[in-house]
Amino acid sequence: MDIEHEPAKSGGRYVARIDGHEAEMTYSRASASLVIVDHTGVPDALRGRGVGHALALHAVEEARRGGWKILPLCPFMRDQALRHSDWKDVIST
């Protein structure tokens, strides 16, 4: 699954486009070392296909590469972080 990064002035989003549908995970940059994931949206047509998880994993991998932490304010991202103890290195509580 291809996930694109669309940066914005104070944050951005990760986007997966599949079969004419768009899923996203948005974030705000709180500092050079912290991003706040505040929303994950997956359309009904893509539910059950692992798209949300792929977006969350992509954010984790980007945080590892970039050397920052993620504060998961989005309920979906928070639940994923609780399920994946191997993400603790980049999850801020």
Cβ within 8 Å of residue 52, ≥6 positions away: 23, 25, 40, 42, 76, 80
Q: How confident is the model at residue 93 (pLDDT cuts 50, 70, 90)?
A: confident
Q: How far apart are CA 10 and CA 4, in angstroms?
A: 17
pTM, to two decimals: 0.95
Tens-place pLDDT, residues 32-77 = 999 999 999 999 999 999 999 999 999 999 999 999 999 999 999 9
Q: How far apart are CA 70 and CA 22, in angstroms?
A: 23
pLDDT at 47: 94
Proportion of the chain above pLDDT 70, given as a percent: 100
pLDDT at 1: 85
